[in-house]
Amino acid sequence: MRAAPLRASLRTIGCRLNQAETALLADRLKKDGYQLVEPGHPTDLLVLNTCSVTESAEKDCRYLVRRTLQHSPHAFVAVTGCYAQTGADALRRVPGIDLIVGTQYKMNLPDYLPPPAALRKQPAPQLLHTRKIDRDDFVLPGAGDYQALNRANLKIQDGCQFMCSFCIIPFARGRERSRRWGDALREAEDLTARGHRELVLTGVNIGQYTYDGRSLLDLIKELERIEGVDRIRISSIEPTTIPDALLDYMATSPKLCRYLHVPLQSGDDGILQAMNRRYTVKEYVAFVEKAVCRVPDLGLGTDLMVGFPGEGEQEFANTLSVASDLPFSYFHVFSFSKRPGTAAARMTNPVRSATVAARRRTLSELSRAKRLAFYQRQIGRAVKVLFEATDDRGLWTGLTGNYVRLGVMAPTDLTNSIREVVVTGAMDGLAVGHLAGC
Ligand code: SF4
């Protein structure tokens, strides 16, 4: 009798790039014979892809190890990702971890697991870690394994050397590297062959993509030619790395989504300078004005950070004013988190935590209002939606190219179909409409 396959549970904390990497690891483990199980279900192996961007992300990692060992006390626990790189010593002290894999070896994690017959808990964690991170083969052969068909992340870049003073990513992921041209195209082909219709280009600093003299825009044009690629979406991208040619292409391409997520972080020049960001408020505003002028119906998101050292009332007021004046369709609001080893960790003049929480609330409320206003502007338009699934109200929901979540009632299964929808209304977090021609 053949033994039942070993079960593997993969969990991701953090960004879209981590999700892309977890999906590649899932694909590899499946090929190695593991049966993938849903998070929270009994398992023989936990692979935890961690984040170290904030202290609370690190706490989440330790919590997930404990939670998993409660329902699966014999599970082999392998931890990788940014926290495994920057906090390996702390992780060694967390009971129940068997393998810690730093960034340099992250995508080879399956090679370092004991063979299935010998997969059992270890008396002490094995550590695979180097300070130097320089591998260019930062992906696995194969294609990411995603449960939902519609969208898939495509990792095209890793690392960053912009050295923003608050950011631990350059230490966690190393210098900038771009994915090999042919390798990115091959994964895109595999993903579309599996049925994914939208590819989300991900990396740490994807505007810096360059391979053999070819740019991000060149890659987008090549990806568009792949049969089955219906949409390409650029994930978060630094404002100083977006050339006019990319905006112009976005304005005319039927496949490149009219969507940009461009981190601003602060609307105050003194804070931007202390953050070591590469633009002034004036330059950022000029960029946004140009982008919305060149790209009609652009969906524009941003990241804002509150509580950076030295952010007084006036500095925050400046951020609030820029955030409310610019035509953002939403923002993500983050609280400053002191990351050991970064320049900002040595800065004095911290902001009280109650003030940080209040500022975060203020900006989050403004973001909600902006999103609603953006959704309301879509009313009366016919837009294309890539449908995902039904929500708890029975509405089929999906996203437009410019990142509006839209719901319709429909008698047929719309999973993974792109349909034209006439927008008739908008509420908090959802626009509604009906299928065109119905
Ligand atoms: S651009 Fe700045 S914030 Fe973004 S990853 Fe690089 S160093 Fe971090």
Residue 145 lies in a domain: no
Query: Ligand 1 atom closest to Cα of 167?
Result: 8
**Amino acid letter at 190?**
D
Residue 135 lies in a domain: no
- Show contacts of 388-396: CB within 8 Å, 24+ apart: 388/148, 388/150, 388/415, 388/416, 389/148, 389/415, 395/430, 395/432
Of 376, 397, 426, the residue that ends a domain is 376
Say whether both 226 and 272 belong to one domain: yes
Tokens of 422: 């006439």
Say whether both 310 and 404 belong to one domain: no
Q: pLDDT, tens digit, for every residue of 171-186?
A: 999 999 999 999 999 9
Question: Would you say residue 199 has pLDDT above 90?
Answer: yes
Q: CA 241 to CA 207: how far, in whole Å? A: 5
- Atom 1 (ligand 1) nearest CA: 162
What is the pTM assigned to this prediction? 0.94
Where helices occur in 263-376 by DSSP H, the ranges are 269-274, 281-294, 313-325, 353-376
Q: CA 438 to CA 433: how far, in whole Å? A: 11
Residue 2 lies in a domain: no
Ligand 1 neighbours by CB, cut-off 6 Å: 160, 162-164, 167, 169-170, 204-205, 238
Say whether both 275 and 371 belong to one domain: yes
Three-state helix/strand/coil letters over 215-255: EHHHHHHHHHCCCCCCEEEECCCCHHHCCHHHHHHHHHCCC
Say whether both 272 and 399 belong to one domain: no
Say whether both 342 and 411 belong to one domain: no
Residue 223: predicted pLDDT: 98
Q: Among 54, 86, 164, 168, which is best to mutate for testing ligand 1, by the most ligand atoms less than 8 A from CB?
A: 164
Residue 29: pLDDT band by 50, 70, 90 thresholds? very high
Name which of 189, 290, 274 is nearest 242 in CA terms: 290
Q: CA 372 to CA 399: how far, in whole Å? A: 15
Give the side-chain half-sphere CA count within 13 A for 123: 0
Say whether both 183 and 254 belong to one domain: yes
Question: Would you say residue 137 has pLDDT above 90?
Answer: no
Give the count of domains, the chain: 3
The CA-CA-CA angle for residues 333, 10, 71, to 5°, reads: 105
Residue 202 lies in a domain: yes
Residue 147: pLDDT band by 50, 70, 90 thresholds? confident
